[in-house]
Structure 1
């Protein structure tokens, strides 16, 4: 598999190199030089999740990793289901919260851990990543206890849910967590500064595990096929997918699935009040506002890191950005949407509620709608209980971490301080 740096296309790397390196020159994102067309889609959709994913990722990655090794990586990573549930007439939910940390990031995080363990070279590796909620837990649990790999996770202090924080800030060992006194965009900026520091990168073997890393992104392609496999052939012909969007890795993965040949009619990018992309699609002007805290905190991103990959896909495929639907909800509208879902008998959380509501407003006659449920409702226990006036029991995965003390350090958004922290 050959990949190029979107900012500097002459910088080209293999899959293994892209996994190890994370980012290219000038913080450029790596992207596949070619994406194959899969012609046996119906046959693929008839296969179980793991077997199908082995064929999809095998086609994408090529023969760079021996087939038996790649198949084992996928088998070890995808150990949980991604069921589709009916929510309303012609609207379905893809539930991506059945993994060990109850969020969609488990697919990408676990595959990346397998990939890095396979392609790593000798020497120290330090995973540095920023999280607006769920990435932290998925990465922490995927890499926890792996030999000679240290993980440092930055998150905005007080701007993720208490249960999200407990899930990845209570592990210790090779997992270090830092509460940054700023918003997620500031955390992400610190990560980018670290990658621009060549001495730091070489000294600690810096790598990133958010959707910057191509291995995580490719893993996420697989659950779009899994969703389609659970729908009828007729439903697949007019399928519209609404993606709750923050950093836009999830939407990028869906667009790669469509490029591969998965029959998705169109996508909708659904955001909260941090609506840089919906405004851009309406006006053609890229004008990020200051990030605001919302109920759907994993989408509190004003400068989405993966947007260049989205534009690259549209350009390469000859698609027009006007074909991409979008919508944004404020917190009051999110609460209303969550109540509407619950009234229909479906318990969701703020991110999924936004994706559902925007989809329901834009779905046309004859179309089948699918929205992504990216996290278990219990990860947002306080807000879901308040909005719906119910009591939510904690799943065991959350309950055991909720009882443990936080082990996080605290820091201002200061790169000099972070650099010293990483080197110590």
Structure 2
């Protein structure tokens, strides 16, 4: 598999190099030089999830890693389901929160951890990543206890839920967590600065587990096929998928699935009040405004890092950006939708409620809508309990983490301080 740097197309790398480097020159994202097309999609949709995922990822990686290796990595990573729950007549929720940290990030993080461990061998690595909520827990769980791999996670102080924080800031061992004075965008900027520091990269074997890492994106393609596979056959070609969007890695993976041949009519990029992309799709002006804190905090991103990949993919496929709908959902709309879902018999959380509301605003009569359930409702217990008048019981993984002491250290929004800690 060959990839190129979107900022410097002359820089080309293999998948293994892209996974190890994370970013190219000048913070450039790596993007596939060619996109595999599947000619047996109907057969694939009839297969079990893991077997289908092996076939999908072998289309990308089989030539480089070997088909048996890819199969082993996938089977070891994908040990949980992604059920499609019917919410009402024309809306389904793809539940991506049945993994060990109860969030969709488990799919990409577990696959990436196994790929990196396979590639690194006995070499020591440092994984540096920023999280707006769920990435931290998924990455920490995926890499916890792995030999020769240290993980450093940055997150915005006071801007993630207390249970999200407990899920990855109580492990210790090879997991170090830093609470940063600033927003997720500030955390992400610090990560990017670290990757531009060549002496630092060499000294600690720096790598990333954010959605900037191509291994995570490829893994996420698989559950889009699983969503469509669970739809009644007569509804598949009218499927509209609404993606709760923050850093836009999830939407990128969905578009890659469509590029491979998955029958999806269209995608909706659903955001909260941090609506850079919906405004851009509406008026053509890329205007980044200060990040606003919302209940759907994992989407509190004003400068989505994966957006250049979306544009590169549309250009490669000859798709107009006008085919991608951006819908911004206010806090009041999010709260109203969460309540409506519960009254209809489905318990959800703010991120999925944003995506469901976007579907409600956009879906045509003949279409069938799928929204992504990216986290277990209990991970946002405070908001869900407050809005719905509940006292949600905690799943075992959350209950165990909730009583552990936080092990995080405070970090000023300073690259010099981060560099010193990393060294």
Do they fold alike, i.e. is TM over 0.5? Answer: yes
In the other structure, the counterpart of 2:51 is 51
Separation of aligned partners in 2, 1:120 and 1:217: 20
- The superposition leaves residues 231-270 of structure 1 with CA deviations (integer Å, 9 ceiling, x where unpaired) of 1221111110000000000000000000000000000000
Is 2:232 aligned against 1:205?
A: no
SS of the residue corresponding to residue 118 of structure 1 reads: helix
Q: CA deviation at 1:122?
A: 4.5
Separation of aligned partners in 2, 1:232 and 1:294: 35
Separation of aligned partners in 2, 1:234 and 1:2: 37
Is 2:221 aligned against 1:221?
A: yes
Q: CA deviation at 1:66?
A: 1.7
With normalisation by structure 1, the TM-score equals 0.99
Q: CA deviation at 1:281?
A: 0.5
Q: CA deviation at 1:149?
A: 0.3
- The superposition leaves residues 105-149 of structure 1 with CA deviations (integer Å, 9 ceiling, x where unpaired) of 000000000110111254320000000000000000000000010
In the other structure, the counterpart of 1:154 is 154
In the other structure, the counterpart of 2:297 is 297
Separation of aligned partners in 1, 2:242 and 2:66: 35
SS of the residue corresponding to residue 319 of structure 1 reads: coil
In the other structure, the counterpart of 1:273 is 273
What is the 5 A alignment of 1:241-320? 241-320=241-320
In the other structure, the counterpart of 2:170 is 170
> Tell me, which stretches of 5 or more residues in structure 1 are unaligned?
none
- The superposition leaves residues 364-414 of structure 1 with CA deviations (integer Å, 9 ceiling, x where unpaired) of 011110000000000000000000001100000100000100000001110
SS of the residue corresponding to residue 413 of structure 2 reads: coil
Q: CA deviation at 1:357?
A: 0.6
Separation of aligned partners in 2, 1:258 and 1:67: 23
Is residue 122–residue 148 contact of structure 2 (8 Å, CA) maintained in 1? no
Q: CA deviation at 1:190?
A: 0.2
SS of the residue corresponding to residue 153 of structure 1 reads: strand
SS of the residue corresponding to residue 193 of structure 1 reads: helix
SS of the residue corresponding to residue 50 of structure 1 reads: helix
Separation of aligned partners in 2, 1:37 and 1:18: 21
Q: CA deviation at 1:279?
A: 0.5
In the other structure, the counterpart of 1:14 is 14
Is 2:323 aligned against 1:330?
A: no
In the other structure, the counterpart of 1:350 is 350
SS of the residue corresponding to residue 390 of structure 2 reads: coil
In the other structure, the counterpart of 1:75 is 75
Separation of aligned partners in 2, 1:419 and 1:165: 23
With normalisation by structure 2, the TM-score equals 0.99
Separation of aligned partners in 1, 2:167 and 2:122: 30
Is residue 125–residue 150 contact of structure 2 (8 Å, CA) maintained in 1? yes
SS of the residue corresponding to residue 235 of structure 1 reads: helix
In the other structure, the counterpart of 2:407 is 407
Separation of aligned partners in 2, 1:66 and 1:259: 23
Separation of aligned partners in 2, 1:80 and 1:121: 26
Separation of aligned partners in 2, 1:121 and 1:208: 17
In the other structure, the counterpart of 1:239 is 239
Q: CA deviation at 1:62?
A: 3.1
Separation of aligned partners in 2, 1:249 and 1:383: 25
SS of the residue corresponding to residue 93 of structure 2 reads: strand
Separation of aligned partners in 2, 1:331 and 1:394: 25
Is 2:353 aligned against 1:363?
A: no
Is 2:394 aligned against 1:394?
A: yes
SS of the residue corresponding to residue 3 of structure 2 reads: strand
SS of the residue corresponding to residue 152 of structure 2 reads: strand
In the other structure, the counterpart of 2:97 is 97
Q: CA deviation at 1:360?
A: 1.2
In the other structure, the counterpart of 2:384 is 384
Aligned length: 423
SS of the residue corresponding to residue 129 of structure 2 reads: strand
Separation of aligned partners in 2, 1:61 and 1:73: 11
In the other structure, the counterpart of 1:120 is 120
